[in-house]
Structure 1
Amino acid sequence: MASYDSDDEVDYATDPAWAHITPLPQDDGENPLAQIAYHPDYVVAMSYLRGVMSINYHSAQVLKLTADIIGMNAAHYTVWGYRFKTLMALEASNVFNDEETSWSWRKELDWVQSIAKQYEKNYQIWHHRQLIINHLNDSTGERERTNEMFASDSKNYHVWTYRQWLVKRFNLFDKEELDTMELLLKEDVRNNSAWNHRYFITLGRLGTDSPADGVINREIEFAKVAISSAPQNPSPWNYLKAVLRKGNIDLASLKDFCEQFAPIDSEDKIKSSHALDILSEIYDETGNLGKAEQALVLLAAKYDPVRKNYWRYRKRLLGSKENVPTASEKTPIVHATA
């Protein structure tokens, strides 16, 4: 059994190899209100899996059976769970590499990767992979596997969740990880997932601890360069504010930078509503209420009218020192957890 993607179909009802398993049909009760019309092949395969699970049976046959079902319904978490349980049982019995089974954890990972490429938005696949890598205690090649997936969809939430778990599990807070995030952001500066992960590996993982010397300044400059390439992109603005908070740096330090993209007195040269938002807060904090009001009026009337009621609300609070989150803070950096 070199692979699970062969065209060999199994008729479980007539195959002698399955004669020792009593299939158990799905029990929907009497007169089900909305019975699902499953494909006949799926109905048969699931009935045999129920029979297998009822006697806690594990073998190479079960790997084939679960692979068949996953091919029909890759989101069936119960099937994935029993498959992992079977793999663990086969390893414990030392039959992984015998002639009948001819399987291994690495072959399983290769197979899982092929399934992941077919069903990119499937969570169960990545949880299964996580269980395997955690069991093997070996992350070799795993970052490369996630990079393969990012090449297809660089914002796949399930892959990012797995990637963050991988980094935490194996302490991969290194230059390779940082370089990968820099590459992804060069390819797409609007990739909020990559911004989130960059913050996690540089600052978010520290908790209340202070970052190493130079890290805050490096990240500030990195965000500023990204903003200069796309001033209306909210991701680096949010990132920049998060870095300032982590470094205990006053928001007012951004005044000159923000005014490059939102010169209040040259309305036609304003390039970023996010810069206007930050400037309104800076002007308010420094007592320049006239300019703060001017920035909020521009946001409500021209640069972000969808949220005009919010900007008007902010305008009413000018000078009150009430701690009101700016619009950019309403989309915080969020870290995926596994």
Structure 2
Amino acid sequence: MTTYLTEYNWDDVVPVPQDDGGPDALVVIAYNDDYRTAMGYLRAIMRVEEYSERAFQLTSDIIFMNAAHYTVWTYRTRILFALGKDCEQELEWLEYVASKFPKNYQIWNHREIIVEKYNSPIRELPFIEAMLALDSKNYHVWSYRQWVVRRFNLWATELAYTSNMIEDDVRNNSAWNHRYFALFGAGAPVNDGIVASEIEFTKDAILKAPQNASAWNYLSGLVRTSKRPLSSLEDFCTSLASFPMTVSADSQEIVQSARALEVLADIYAEKRDLDRALQAWTLLADKYDTIRVNFWNYKKLQATRTIMA
């Protein structure tokens, strides 16, 4: 016998069976007996909007059988508030559930609702950091961290936190994304000194891994958002992607970073230096980024039409 059947008396409840679409249903999901029975009782008590301890326990049992069941989470929230249950106890329970199902987004949606009601972030950043220690690229955890930071105005620590994360793994795209959020997400103006410092920080990170798309995307975002000219990156990109004026399959050009070459091509196009832009795109198409050959050929065609017009 299962916990939800033995801990509470269900004699007054007639389970509502799953409607699979009739006897000739095309596809019938093969639920196990425990899950099928639990859901039968849940459908029955949801019909009469029963908000009770046994209903609350039943949602817990079903969540551990199928943590992705959105309706169960929604019903649990309604019971929680109807019974006036302790939000902190619910947060503790959620921490355990999250350790078992860390990439289930319903967990984080439910936690957001509870924290909003609890109106305190005191548990949140330590909990988030513990979860990211288990998986530093868990999208759901990072998304939740953004909500917590914005909701409780916790911007002050975020750049330092992402610096540590990037130091641990320079290719952590989630940390780079959060860093951009930390810098610009509050909507307040960012002074030139901070942006200049960020550009140097990012350049140093790129030198550790010149092909790392995450840092290059962040650098491009910094330049674009701060309205700096792309050409301000020309010297840095040239140091990582110098190349000759002729292109051949056996040429001995030194290109440490295809990403740098890509930015250089755009810089040359902006400066209407079509010859060097075409040369850079040709190198990318023929040698350094052949998987995107069609894209580079498209860029060449578009630039030629624009600059020659």
Distance of 1:33 and 1:288 partners within structure 2: 62
Q: 1:61 to 1:251 in 2, by over 3 A?
A: same
Kept after mapping to 2: 8 A contact 1:284/1:319? no
RMSD: 2.0
Q: 1:267 to 1:138 in 2, by over 3 A?
A: farther
Q: Which runs of 5+ in 1 are unaligned?
A: 1-7, 97-103, 323-338
Q: 1:44 to 1:317 in 2, by over 3 A?
A: closer
Partner residue of 1:43 out of 16, 19, 36? 36
**Aligned residue in 1 for 2:123:** 141
| Structure 1 segment 85-164 matched on structure 2, within 5 A | 85-91=78-84, 96=85, 104-164=86-146
Partner amino acid for 1:42?
Y
Q: 1:310 to 1:10 in 2, by over 3 A?
A: closer
Distance of 1:292 and 1:30 partners within structure 2: 64
Report the CA distance between 1:315 and its aligned residue.
Answer: 2.2
Q: 1:16 to 1:122 in 2, by over 3 A?
A: closer
Tell me whether 1:20 sits opposite 2:12 in the alignment: yes
Kept after mapping to 1: 8 A contact 2:149/2:155? yes
Q: Which runs of 5+ in 2 are unaligned?
A: 245-250
Q: Please give the TM-score of this superposition, normalised by the length of structure 2.
A: 0.90
Kept after mapping to 1: 8 A contact 2:2/2:34? no
Distance of 1:11 and 1:210 partners within structure 2: 54
**Aligned residue in 2 for 1:75:** 68
Distance of 1:276 and 1:187 partners within structure 2: 27
Higher relative contact order (CA 8 A, sep 6+): 1
The range that moved more, 183-192 or 18-27, is 18-27
Q: Please give the TM-score of this superposition, normalised by the length of structure 1.
A: 0.83
Q: 1:295 to 1:213 in 2, by over 3 A?
A: closer
Q: 1:289 to 1:28 in 2, by over 3 A?
A: closer
**Aligned residue in 2 for 1:278:** 263
Report the CA distance between 1:320 and its aligned residue.
Answer: 4.6
Partner residue of 1:182 out of 144, 150, 163? 163
Distance of 2:57 and 2:68 partners within structure 1: 17
Q: Which protein is richer in helix relative to its size?
A: 2
| Deviations 1:23-77 (CA, angstroms, capped at 9, x unpaired) | 2222334313322221111111111111211221112222211111111111111
Count of aligned residue pairs for this structure pair = 300
Q: Percent identity?
A: 46
Partner residue of 2:293 out of 308, 312, 335? 308
Kept after mapping to 1: 8 A contact 2:4/2:61? no
Report the CA distance between 1:321 and its aligned residue.
Answer: 4.2
Distance of 1:299 and 1:312 partners within structure 2: 9
**Aligned residue in 1 for 2:189:** 210
